[in-house]
């Protein structure tokens, strides 16, 4: 089964995450996409983090409304930073029959050579690259060409520009502004029920 892997902090999950997952599903002909919330990202500090359990639960609420989506706790249940190569190894151990496609933006694909064990990443999964303005397909292909299997394991899909981010959602919540249509209704309800991102003085 062809399975997409969409990792991130999902702090919180929003509509751009879902559009990315859907476009990858359709254009790359995937059977489903796994949302993989990280416990601790390796290269940045999580701002105003409500905790990994809240972030996992919000992803679960999103996936409950779409049979093509599922949530993996492969990173959430493991302490320490989540490195892509380790995530993919664990997913392979859990379901060795699946063919994995790791979904990234063009900027992330361009930086693949600086990741931990980039050639191992390409052995474990194809890269599904969301093509947007700013980073050209040709530039990414040229950048990855020196890697073993650097070009044969990359597939591109079109992603419409959606200027919604988790930080934008957090700012709206902190200011008391509505977030409906920025996040799925179930996530908006969860944010309100658990009073997330409203703490006075919190970094948003």
**Tens digits of residue pLDDT in 176-190:** 999 999 999 999 999
Cis status, amide bond into 12, omega within 30 of 0: yes
- Name the CATH superfamily, with its identifier, for domain 2-162: HUPs (3.40.50.620)
| Residues 137, 142: Cα–Cα separation, whole Å | 9
| Residues 122, 32: Cα–Cα separation, whole Å | 20
Report the residue count for the chain.
Answer: 204
Mean pLDDT of 7-26: 97
Identify the CA nearest to 87 among candidates 45, 115, 54, 59.
115
Mean pLDDT of 4-20: 97
Mean residue pLDDT of the chain comes to 93
- C-alpha count within 13 angstroms, C-beta hemisphere, residue 97: 1
**Tens digits of residue pLDDT in 31-59:** 999 999 999 988 777 889 999 999 999 99
Q: pLDDT tier at 201 (50, 70, 90 boundaries)?
A: very low
Domain spans in the chain, listed from the N-terminal domain onward = 2-162
Give the largest CA-CA distance in the chain. Answer: 50
């Amino acid at each position: 089964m062809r399975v997409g892997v969409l990792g991130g902090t999902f702090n919180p999950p929003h509509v751009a995450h879902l559009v990315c997952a859907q476009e990858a599903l359709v254009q790359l002909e995937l059977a489903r996409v796994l949302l993989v919330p990280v416990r601790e990202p390796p290269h940045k500090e999580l701002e105003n983090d409500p905790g990994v359990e809240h972030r996992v639960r919000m992803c679960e609420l999103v996936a409950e409304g779409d049979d093509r989506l599922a949530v993996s706790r492969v990173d959430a249940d493991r302490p320490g930073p989540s490195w892509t190569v380790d995530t993919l190894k664990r997913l392979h151990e859990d379901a060795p029959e699946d063919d994995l496609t790791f979904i990234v933006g063009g900027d992330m694909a361009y930086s693949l050579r600086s990741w931990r064990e980039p050639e191992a990443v390409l052995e474990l999964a194809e890269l599904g690259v969301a093509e947007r303005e700013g980073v050209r397909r040709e530039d990414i292909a040229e950048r990855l060409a020196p890697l073993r299997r650097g070009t044969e394991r990359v597939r591109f899909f079109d992603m419409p520009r959606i200027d919604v981010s988790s930080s934008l959602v957090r700012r709206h919540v902190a200011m008391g502004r509505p977030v409906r249509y920025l996040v799925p209704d179930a996530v908006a309800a969860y944010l309100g029920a658990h009073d997330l991102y409203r703490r006075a003085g919190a970094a948003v």
